[in-house]
Amino acid sequence: MKTTPFTSKHIALGAKMAEFAGYNMPISYSGINDEHLTVRKAVGVFDVSHMGEFIVKGDAALDLIQRITSNDASKLVKGKIQYSCFTNETGGIIDDLLVYCLEENQSYMLVVNAGNIQKDWDWVNKHNMGGAELHNISDKTGLLAVQGPQAIRVVQSLTDMDILNLKYYTFVKGKFAGLDNILISATGYTGEEGVEIYFEDKDNASDIIWDAVFKAGAAIGIKPAGLGARDTLRLEMGFCLYGNDIDSTTSPLEAGLGWITKFSKDFTAKSILEQQKATGISRKLVGFEMIDKGIARHGYEITDTSGNILGTVTSGTQSPSLGKAIGMGYVTIAHAALDTEIFIKVRNNLLKARIVKMPFV
């Protein structure tokens, strides 16, 4: 398994470790519910250094990004970030990603999912006919996410950059915890205020940043949080997880990502998705809450009252914030309306659930 710059920290703290996307990652420390509620009420810190980062530079950079992503990157200016996805030739999602504009029309950073780094890197290179300069900096980039209502206060105390007024989907770059060239962004995956801290993994930068953040947050109960809490937090917000809620067989339109699918430019699968939009999709990603007792898990069938299959659960959990079981899944359009009664097949039992509006909290 690969390690991150913080792996030794997790092990020293007694984290429950497990393989995720090829990395030895912390799943939990004090427990998923405790970490989840800490992020909702105070501040939690996630090691997300397993994410992938690509630099795309040069006169051909924007053209390449425009051709391989669904959103319109030409709208980006320096300091702005965009949520987007790579689409394949059949209209499915290769990956969802973030596009950072480092220098307008000249330099960008693509942040991709850990399990898709090699696949995404191959995809970007395959379509680089214009000769954009490409650098895969994933292995030398550390990334810490500080999330929660007290997160901004903690981070601001360690920098002169204006974090208090950092708008959603923007970033700044400067000195942090005494280190230069630290990029701090506000994209979030928990639904809470917070930032992501990107740094080059050299000269003990990881130790300096980790120790400074935890010292700054000690008085307000800062805690490390693992991937378990990250998953329950994102699910409460209705955020998609690649490999669960979106994959190479799901289209952005089916997944409710029409807002990042811009037909004003040419990109892979544009014609297929235009046709989907014109004729209508046959299934849709919805959120639901359980009425009967039980937890819906990835892969469980969604049925009607007679047991006829309507779709499949993609994500499900017991919500720590709500105290009830929630989930997401794809169902046929005819059964996708809010308040529709559906059933989750758990072993041989049909458990009642209801389609609800997302986010759940």
**CATH number of the structural domain spanning residue 156:** 3.30.1360.120
Asked which of 203, 236, 269 is the last residue of a domain, the reply is 236
> Do the domain assignments include residue 275?
no
What CATH number does residue 334 fall under? 2.40.30.110
Asked which of 199, 215, 236 is the last residue of a domain, the reply is 236
Note whether 351 and 289 are same-domain residues. yes
Domain of 232 in residue numbering reads as: 7-48+139-236
> Do the domain assignments include residue 271?
no
pLDDT for 131:
97
> Do the domain assignments include residue 147?
yes
Note whether 160 and 12 are same-domain residues. yes
> Do the domain assignments include residue 64?
no
Note whether 175 and 313 are same-domain residues. no
**Positions in the chain whose pLDDT score sits under 70:** none
Residues 6+ apart with CB under 8 A from 90: 248, 269, 272
> Do the domain assignments include residue 263?
no
> Do the domain assignments include residue 80?
no
Answer whether 0.75 is exceeded by the pTM: yes
pLDDT for 331:
98
pLDDT for 255:
98
